[in-house]
Structure 1
Amino acid sequence: MCNVIIVDNDIESSEIMKEMIREHFANVILLPIATTRLELIEIADKYSIELAIINHDTLDCFKAHKFLLERFPNLKSIVTSRKADFKNAQKALRLGMIDYLLKPIDADFVYALDRGIKSINQVSLLDIENNDNQNTSLTLQHKVLRFIHKNYAESLTLDVLANYLNMSKYHVSRLVKSILGMNFSEYLLIYRVEVAKKELSTTDYPISEVAMNVGFNDSTYFTKKFKEVTGLTPKRYRQTYQGQVTIADIQV
C-alpha cells in the first residue's frame, strides 16, 4: 500500500483527483487533504507519507517537498499548478519530482501517479521482471529500462543506449522522454541516487566508494548531485537514515 497526500486548497480539483485515484489505484491509502502549511505539518506528524501531490498555487511546492523529504527520504512528489512555468517544471524534474502537471487535471495525472506509485512499491516503472525466459518478448520500453538499470554504474550515455538499441540518438531521446516523463540524464541521475541511498543506509562503504558504485568517478560531484536530488549531503543522509529500511528499495 502507498500513503498519498493531496496538498491543495482547491476543493473541486482535490475531489477530481480523489475520484481518479480511487478509480485507478486499489493500492493507495488517501490521507486527509492539506489545504494549508499547518495542516500539512500536522498530517506529517501523524502519518508516513510516501507520495505527495502538491499544488504550487496553494503552497510553494519546492519548500513543501523539501520539508517532507527531510522526514520521508524516499518521498515522491507530483506538482500541480494553473500556471505554465517552464523554469518551475524544469526545477521540479531536477529535484526528482515525478511530474509538473497543469490544471485542469486530466489523464496525465493518472500516468504520473502510476509512475510514482510503481517506483515506491519496489518495482521498475514498467514492471520489468528478472526472468531471462521473457527476454525475447521484452518490449522496446522494457529493454530501455532494463539496460539503464543494469548499466547505471558504467559510463552510460544516451549514445551508448542508442547503439545498444540500434536506433538514432534523436529517436531514443524521444522514446525515453515518452516512457519516463523526463530526459535520459535526469532519470539516470535519479536512479543512481536511489541506489546510493540504499547503500548509504545499509552499508558502511566510504562515500567515495558509494559514488564509484553508482557511476560517479568524482565523489565531490556525486555529493553535489546527491544533494540536488535529496536536499541532503550523502554524509548527512547516512547519519540520519543508516540502518533504516528504505521504501524505494528498487531492483538492481
Structure 2
Amino acid sequence: MVVAGVLIIDDEAESRQHIRLIIEESQYNYLSIYEAGSADRGLVLLKQNQPDIVILDLSLPDMDGVKLGKKVLELKPQVSIIVATHLKMFDMVQLCMNEGFSRYFLKPLSNVELLTSLDRLLLPNLMKETNVLGNAGAPKKPVEIDLGNPIQSVIRYIHSHFYEPITLNDVADWVYLSASHFSRLFKAEMGVTFIEYLTKYRVEQSKRLIKVTSLPIEVIANNTGFANAGYFATTFKRLEGKTPTEYRSLFSGFMSE
C-alpha cells in the first residue's frame, strides 16, 4: 500500500485507543498501527517499523514531546508528525510548526481532523503511485511507440495519461493509423472498444481513491479523466452497479464527528 503505517506515541492508553479506532473504522484501515506509551518505546518502534506518520502527544513521562519530534525527524526526515495534545499555547503551536511538524490538534482528536490530515499527508504518495494528478504538472516521460504493436503502445499511453483528455482520433494519429482501422484493431486485440477500455481503466483508478481517501467525489472525477461529476457517477454506477458514494460506504461511513 501507500504507507508502512502509523505510530501513536502517547502515555494515555485511552487516547491511543481512540485514535486506533478512528483509523481502523475508516478507509485507512489497511494501515499498520503501532503504539507506544513513552518516548523511548516510540523511538524503538520507529526504527523497527519505519512508519510514515507519527501521531505524538507532547506530554510524555520520559522526554519533552517537541524534543522527541525533532529526534523522529532526524531519524526519518520524510515522516509526517501530527501533534495531539492538551497544551493550548500559541507559542507551542508555532514551535512545532517551526520544527517541521505537519499538524497540531487539541485533544480529543476528532474523526474529521484525523482523517482529513491523513488525506492531505497520504494523498501525494497515492497520486504518485497511481499516476493521478501528481504527475500532471511534472515533465512527462514520452511513451515509446512500437509501430509493430500499436495497440500495446496505446495501452501504455492510457496508463500514463488517463487523467488527461484522450480521444480515439488522437491516439490513432499518434500510432499513424486511421481512426476506423485503429478502432477495428483495438477491438480485435483487446476484446472491447477503445472507449470501453479507457472508461473502465479510469473507473478502476477512481475506485482506489474512493477507498483510501475521503476526497470529494467531484475531485476524484476530475482527477481521473472524467469531464464532470455527473457523468462520472452515471458511468461508475453502470459499470459497478452502485454510485461512487454507495461504493465508498462499503469501506467507511466514519467521516462524521
Normalised to the residue count of structure 1, the TM-score between the two structures is: 0.47
Q: Which has the larger radius of gyration?
A: 2
Normalised to the residue count of structure 2, the TM-score between the two structures is: 0.46
